[in-house]
Amino acid sequence: MAPETDPVDFVGREPDERLLGEDMKALPESVGRPHELPQSPRHDEIVRIGAALTGATLMGGIALSLFGAVDAIATGFELLSVAALVLGILLVTTHWGWVHVAEISARRMDARNNRQLVDGRQEWLAGIEPYPRWEVSTSTRADGSILITTERYRPLACGPQTFTFARELETSETHSGEEPAATVTDRAENLRRQAALDTARARERYELARDAYENALLEHGDEQQRIAATRAASEALSERINANLREPPLTE
């Protein structure tokens, strides 16, 4: 079981840029997905140039290294041979840099050519809030059985003031294809209702902590009062939890 997420740990944090890239797969479907950034016509050409420079740098580095080594043996490590050897080794060890330079350049060109889409993706990213979410999905196996899974999408702190998400399998149920369809459907819907309730509670806890934090910052006037604001958020959340404990449990 994953540790409980404390919403106070995430107030004031912003979504990490990785959620627009490799971490997007860790996001629940409920947050949606941004529009894909199309490649410019010259994107592939720039990448190919980078690959060609990588190959040329590698071959040139090997040639210089061999020349420097042979010349050093023949002349007794004179300045020219040592310089050629060092330069050749440097080129060999850094030749992959051209690939990264080309890819970064191509992406920047894509961003310049699609500024409106880039702004839209940033707005989508800024709208993601760091509270846990639960989602239920079903799939059919080769033998006809039905798999019902509940996944938890838990926020993770990364960097000084950013967050990303971790996707975790919480429960998994296999139902025989011989079970009545109504029984399996009811079970899936019950799990979905529970997932929605858990998500709503987590969102409520986060919003309570966030609002208390922001109000405390406004009251104290500047960012230097972050500790006081965090304490206020913790106290507000603790009071709400204690109040819920004193209330009778909800029944559906």
**138 and 208 together in one domain:** yes
**154 and 240 together in one domain:** yes
Task: Give the pLDDT of residue 250.
Answer: 47
**107 and 138 together in one domain:** no
Using only C-alpha atoms, the chain has a radius of gyration, in whole angstroms, of 28
240 has a pLDDT exceeding 70: no
Place 38 in a pLDDT band, splitting at 50, 70 and 90.
Answer: low
**90 and 58 together in one domain:** yes
Q: Are 161 and 13 in contact (CB under 8 A)?
A: yes
17 has a pLDDT exceeding 60: yes
CA geometry: angle 118, 9, 202, nearest 5 deg: 80
* Higher pLDDT among residues 201 and 95, named by residue: 201
**146 and 91 together in one domain:** no
146 has a pLDDT exceeding 80: yes
**201 and 234 together in one domain:** yes
* Separation CA 225–CA 221 (nearest Å): 8
Query: How many domains does one find in the chain?
Result: 2
The whole-chain average pLDDT of the chain stands at: 81
pTM comes to 0.64
**95 and 161 together in one domain:** no
Structure tokens at 232: 């206020």
**90 and 168 together in one domain:** no
| Structural domain for 169, as ranges | 133-246
Place 111 in a pLDDT band, splitting at 50, 70 and 90.
Answer: low
72 assigned to some structural domain: yes
**105 and 137 together in one domain:** no
198 assigned to some structural domain: yes
Place 48 in a pLDDT band, splitting at 50, 70 and 90.
Answer: confident
Picking from 63-77, 185-199, 237-251, which range would have the lowest pLDDT averaged per residue? Answer: 237-251
**189 and 98 together in one domain:** no
202 assigned to some structural domain: yes
Structure tokens at 166: 């971790």
150 has a pLDDT exceeding 90: yes
163 assigned to some structural domain: yes
204 assigned to some structural domain: yes
